[in-house]
Amino acid sequence: MSQLTYREAVRHALAEELTRDPNVVVMGEEVGQFQGAYKVTQGLLEKFGPKRVADTPISEAGFIGMGIGASMLGVRPVMELMFWSFYSVAFDQILNNAANVRYMSGGQINCPIVIRGPANGGTNVGATHSHTPENILAAHPGVKVVVPSTPYDAKGLLKSAIRDNDPVFFLENTVLYGEKGEVPDEEYLIPLGKADVKREGKDLTIVTYGRPVIQSLVAAELLAKEHDISVEVVDLRTIRPLDIDTVLASVRKTHRVLVVEEQKPFCGVGAQLTYMIQAEAFDDLDAPIGRLCTIDAPAIYSPPVEAEQLPNPQRILKAALALLD
């Protein structure tokens, strides 16, 4: 096992897949000569050359459309968005074309494209650079949506995403890029659509994904030390397909559940998740389902205010205690 940062884990996955499959290419703004806006692609241009790692113009509609066309012809493009907030510029290409091409061709044409980049708040870059669009992306049949929380998950899930024959939207987090974790030295894959229990518990289930997994684990530790409360933390890892079976198994064990997400509350992933839990496990619940989201306003630029707008350990702790009262 090696200690890698989240950034390094993503880079290792890209390098391994570029080496394994000559059809894999990496494209996006500043991925080559500048080595990535967040240095995720550092060293890849030098190792694989400009035909495999290509800088693109600042035109998401143009280069995402090009990548989709290339994927339909047998290339496996990994496209980097500097921010997932800019996906809206290529909304037609991503969700009207890539999502539908296999269905509309009767299964004759695949679209094995990965679109990756950061989708998060917490870096004080304002409302136009802090979107979390996983709910909008996952609302479209034909796509897969992945939100890893750890270096281990980021590498294993990205390798699976690159090998998948459907469009995969891979949402990372700039706050996590420098976080370290154990990553196996040998090759491994994590299947898409499989949740992970990051912490075992018996009194309350927290269901979450992305950076809130890390915040929830901190809150769970505080609840154990300060209140003798045992919290189970379930990391969805993949939003679509969604591993509802792992979630339900945990809820049936603890009988209380708190959904935590770095999304605005209205029409978020948590709304779908709470519906699915109550539809399948209503009789197992000893309390109403709790839900903790980002406070419902555009991303706040002020660092101390944005820190309170997002899920944080103290907000999660208070919401958990309210469910157990």
DSSP annotation string for 162-212: HH-SS-EEEEE-TTTTT-EEEE-SS-----TT--EEEE--SSEEEEE-SHH
Cβ atoms of residues 14 and 41 within 8 Å? yes
Catalytic residue, candidates 17, 29, 129, 131: 129
Report the candidate in 289, 261, 295, 281 with the shortest Cα–Cα distance to residue 133.
261
Give yes or no: 131 in active site: no
Catalytic residue, candidates 8, 60, 80, 261: 60
Read off the amino acid at residue 149: S
Give yes or no: 179 in active site: no
From residue 259, alpha-carbon distances to 2, 124, 152, 171, 252 in Å are 32, 24, 23, 19, 15
From residue 183, alpha-carbon distances to 2, 165, 325 in Å are 5, 25, 39
| 16, HSE (Cβ side, Cα atoms, 13 Å) | 20
d(CA 303, CA 123): 8
Please give the distance of CA 284 from its chain centroid, rounded to a whole number.
Answer: 29
Q: Which residues are catalytic, by number?
A: 60, 129
